[in-house]
Amino acid sequence: MDIIATLAKEFSLGVQQVERTVELFDAGNTIPFIARYRKEVTGSLDDMVLRELFDRLAYLRNIEKRKAEVKELIAAQDKLTPEIEKAIDAAVTITEVDDIYRPFRPKRKTRASVARERGLEPLAGLLLAQKPSYTPSIEEQAASYVSEETGVASAGEALSGACDIIAEDISDNADYRKAIRAMTWERGVLNSSGEGDSVYTRYYEYSEPVSKIPGHRILAVNRGEKEGFLKVTLTAPHEQILQYLGKKLLSGGDSPAKKYVAAAIEDSYIRLIAPSVEREIRSDMFDTASEGAIKVFADNLRHLLMQPPLRGRVVMGLDPGYRTGCKLAVVDQTGKVKDTAVIYPHKPQERIRESGEIVTRLIRKHEVNVIAIGNGTASKESEIFIANLLKTIPEDVKYIVVSEAGASVYSASKLGAEEFPDFDVTQRSAVSIARRLQDPLAELVKIDPKSIGVGQYQHDMKPARLGAALSGVVEGCVNAVGVDLNTASYSLLSYISGINATAAKNIVKHREEHGAFNSRAEILRVPKIGEKSFEQCAGFLRVPGSAEILDNTGVHPESYDAARGLLGMFGYTEEDVRSGGLSLLSVKVKLKGEEKVAARLGIGVPTLRDIIAELEKPGRDVRDSLPLPVLREDILDLSDLKEGMVLTGTVRNVIDFGAFVDIGVHQDGLVHISQLSERYIKHPSEVVSVGDIVSVKVIGVDLQKKKISLSMKGLLKT
């Protein structure tokens, strides 16, 4: 297989483009670095395409590795023919390679292997020949195999053993298995049944064609089966498959052997092939569904992490609770903890007045602007308490309910304990809730992505695959934003291109021992940061206090000379960059001609455009162009909702069948996929993303089940 050509065809890219991109991978360059600083080489492929290309490259290389292994194993048995080698070379999946290897794989003791040991292989060949007549008869010839030495007791036993050999040979045929797998996939039906009370009642009498089942239903059925609530079967087109095998193996004319071969065919399919193919197809269905769910999870996570920070606000985080009280933490504009407290406004103590006095005192003492309330236990009661309190004080303070998914994981983690050794877990949660409003990315990187709560069936997926995909998303987001070298946490630094966990810890330790970094180049003094690491990470690090203004931009040090040359070409200085006086630079470059300017500077046009964008807005944050979170000052109850009401909400989660939207009533409403758009869409992600501010219409409220049905038809995103 020509891997480069295959990738080029699958991704609709040029062969040279793929070849040069693969060379960058193989040279140890990270995906964020390649996406940002090697656009001329890749043709400006973004990080998502690069990750898909990288994963596919790894898979195709694994196929080639498996092909080489299988050839060696067959050759070791002196059975590798040119035909087999050609078939292996033509295989396009690992399953196809393993199908070819199946006849040569060392087997456990089987009925067929026992029959072979008894010398019945010639009899199997005799039957498969299906001659018009046999002299002596088949039964008489079978009787010749009867002996105490072989252990064959009768002619019937000999014929049965011969049929076992035929059945296994049919099962081991790669072409037959490939065809049967395709027929089962195209015409098979997945069925499930169950009884009793569970969340899987909709699947108690359920059937759906294998080829049409959406991924979320596959994962739901699998989980129901795993938990013991569902019995799942796969019905294959048995008659069609048996007819196919009959055409392949039964002779056209009459033969006394035909009935034996027909029986062997049926036995081969029912006993050997069908269970194996069913397992393979259900495994493939799960893998496909998982990949789809991982993609949705990754997309949700990307949008969650890239939500705009609420800058310049003093935030009070509130971790709700009943018996143990609500923990409060006030953090200043930089995220530094200024104060903590515990209040007991709910049952059993209901010290409402005292709690209100404490909150009011903290608001006035620290000039709190926003209160971030976690959405866990007692969140609704806490929201009511805060909303009522804010009506009684003159200060302009608003609140917002924040997803606290993963906050408890962080609070109980080693990292949480290291950061706040004197706080208990709930106090750490209050800090995390406040900080994730101020800067979602900086805070959420401290939490295992699987615990952030914007996925679907994530606990059913292969942990390694899910972890790799989500880590890639976090890495992409952190590098897209960049980090302040002098304030970034160890967690944030560890996701920067070229910086591993050890190097991240060394950077923090260097800061603590030697003070702030004065330039990007000073990071080379840190242990485990060599020239290659510096090349990969430098462009993503920001040093606002550096004497070199370019150290606070996304311009890579390798392009500093080009950036200075660009400034000089149009009569600008670095002071103009500091004062923000380059708003017309891009216009001037276009008037002169981008290709001409890039050629004079010795760089490509994509790099030129990136440099211009950075010089025009040094220190910019790509998240600032997104809508800020919706802050509230009054509360809306589920019972207040009426059909036809139009409200503003925030998309909290996007799944295969719709999107959940927070409209400020503690219970997220569901916009079903059919209610997301006037036009037909295949997936909700075509219309909405996590963090979007949207207008929704209430189309149904079930107070008993606490379910809210919403629609976005005819309404626009904010």
Tell me the angle at which helices 3-10 and 47-75 cross, rounded to the nearest 10 degrees: 140
The confidence band for 701, taking pLDDT boundaries of 50, 70 and 90, is very high
Evaluated on CA atoms 494, 616, 35, 601, the torsion sign reads negative
Reported as a single tens digit per residue, the pLDDT across 78-121 is 999 999 999 999 999 999 999 999 999 988 899 999 999 999 99
Q: Coil, strand, or helix at residue 330?
A: strand
d(CA 91, CA 621): 47
Q: Which residues does 582 contact at the CB level (< 8 Å), separation at least 6? A: 572, 576, 615, 616
Per-residue pLDDT, averaged over 609-628, amounts to: 86
Contacts of 258 (CB under 8 A, 6+ apart): 130, 250, 251
CA-nearest of 584, 577, 585, 582 to 560 is 577
pLDDT of residue 20 exceeding 80, the answer is yes
User: 333 near 314, Cβ under 8 Å?
Assistant: yes
Contact predicate 341/318, CB 8 Å: no
For the chain, give the longest Cα–Cα distance. Answer: 109
Confirm whether 508-625 and 638-711 share one CATH topology.
Answer: no
DSSP 421-443: TTS-HHHHHHHHHHHHHH-HHHH
pLDDT score for 604: 96
Q: How confident is the model at residue 137 (pLDDT cuts 50, 70, 90)?
A: very high
Residue 65 is encoded by which pair of tokens? 């590795």
Q: Which residue has the tokens 């990187």?
A: 445
Identify the H or E element spanning 391: none
Q: Is 419 left (phi over 0), alpha (psi -120 to 50) or beta?
A: alpha
DSSP string, 649-664: EEEEEEETTEEEEE-S
Q: Out of 62-76, 180-194, 529-543, 636-650, which region has the weakest mean confidence (pLDDT)?
A: 636-650
**Nearest by Cα to 57 from 39, 75, 69, 45:** 45
CA atoms within 13 A on the CB side of 331: 26
Across residues 661-675, what is the average pLDDT?
A: 89
Taking 3-state DSSP, the helix, strand and coil percentages for the chain, each rounded to the nearest 5, stand at 55, 10, 35
* Confidence (pLDDT) at 717: 62
Say how far apart CA 283 and CA 682 lie, in whole Å: 24
Q: Which among 53, 62, 8 has a CA at the least distance from the CA of 34?
A: 53
Which residue type does 496 have?
I
Cα–chain center distance at 577: 39
What single string gives the DSSP state of each residue in 577-589?
HHTT--TTHHHHH
DSSP secondary-structure letter at 602? T
Q: Using alpha carbons, select from 215, 187, 195, 136 the residue that is nearest to residue 656.
A: 215
Helical segments of 233-273, H only:
238-249, 258-267
Phi, psi at 145, each rounded to 5° = -90, -5
Domain 315-477: which topology? Nucleotidyltransferase; domain 5 (3.30.420)
CA-CA distance, 524 to 535, in Å (whole number)? Answer: 10
Euclidean distance between CA atoms 95 and 116, whole angstroms? 27
Report the alpha-carbon distance of residue 469 to residue 57 in Å, rounded. Answer: 15
Predicted confidence at residue 638, as pLDDT, reads: 83
CA–CA separation, 136 and 144 (whole Å) = 11
What are 530-568's pLDDT values in tens digits? 999 999 999 999 999 899 999 999 999 999 999 999 999
Q: How many whole angstroms from its chain centre is CA 490?
A: 23
Cα–Cα distance, 334 to 106 (Å, whole number): 64
User: Cα dist. 46→38, 52, 294, 661 in Å?
Assistant: 10, 10, 19, 29
Cβ atoms of residues 340 and 393 within 8 Å? no
Rg (CA), the chain: 33
pLDDT for position 447: 87
- Report the alpha-carbon distance of residue 442 to residue 542 in Å, rounded: 14
- Euclidean distance between CA atoms 7 and 17, whole angstroms: 10
Please check the confidence at residue 718 and state whether its pLDDT lies above 60: no
638-711 maps to CATH 2.40.50.140: yes
Q: What are phi and psi of 313, to 5 degrees?
A: -115, 140
DSSP codes joined into one string, 6-61: HHHHHTT--HHHHHHHHHHHHTT--HHHHHHH-HHHHTS--HHHHHHHHHHHHHHH
Complete edge-to-edge strand list for the sheet that includes strand 337-343: 337-343, 326-331, 315-319, 370-374, 398-402
Tell me the pLDDT tens digit for each residue of 25-56: 999 999 999 999 999 999 999 999 999 999 99
Instruction: Enumerate residues 6+ apart whose C-beta is below 8 A from 324.
Output: 426
pLDDT tens for 270-288 read: 999 999 999 999 999 999 9
Tens digit of each residue's pLDDT (9 = 90 or more) over 424-455: 888 999 999 999 999 999 999 988 888 887 77
Q: Average per-residue pLDDT in the chain?
A: 93
Residues 6+ apart with CB under 8 A from 368: 314, 315, 316, 330, 362, 395, 397
* pTM, two decimal places: 0.84
What integer pLDDT is reported at residue 321 of this predicted model? 92
The predicted pLDDT at position 349 comes to 93
Question: By the 8 A CB rule, do 48 and 302 touch?
Answer: no
For residues 125 and 89, the answer to whether their CB atoms sit within 8 Å is no
Please check the confidence at residue 634 and state whether its pLDDT lies above 80.
no
Q: Where are the domains of the chain?
A: 3-104, 111-188+236-297, 315-477, 508-625, 638-711
Note every long-range contact of 347-355, with CB atoms under 8 Å and residues 24 or more positions apart, other chains counting. 347/322, 348/322, 348/323, 349/325, 352/385, 355/326, 355/385
Q: What is the pLDDT of residues 301-359, one digit of tens each?
A: 998 899 889 989 999 999 999 999 999 999 999 899 999 999 999 999 999 999 999 99
DSSP letter, residue 450: G
Buried b (16+ CB within 10 A) or exposed e, 562-583: bbbbbbeeeebebebbeeeebe
CATH code given to domain 508-625: 1.10.150.310
The band of 219, judged by pLDDT with boundaries at 50, 70 and 90, is very high
Q: Cα separations (Å) of 644 from 96, 688, 697, 709?
A: 55, 21, 6, 11
Which class is 111-188+236-297 in CATH? mainly alpha
* Phi and psi torsions of 438, nearest 5°: -70, -45
- Position 459 scores a pLDDT of 76
CA neighbours closer than 13 Å in the CB half-sphere of residue 356:
14
| pLDDT confidence bin for 716, thresholds 50/70/90 | low
Distance CA 127, CA 122 (A): 9
Domain 3-104, second-level architecture: Orthogonal Bundle (1.10)
Residue 88: the pLDDT is 96
Q: pLDDT at residue 632 above 90?
A: no
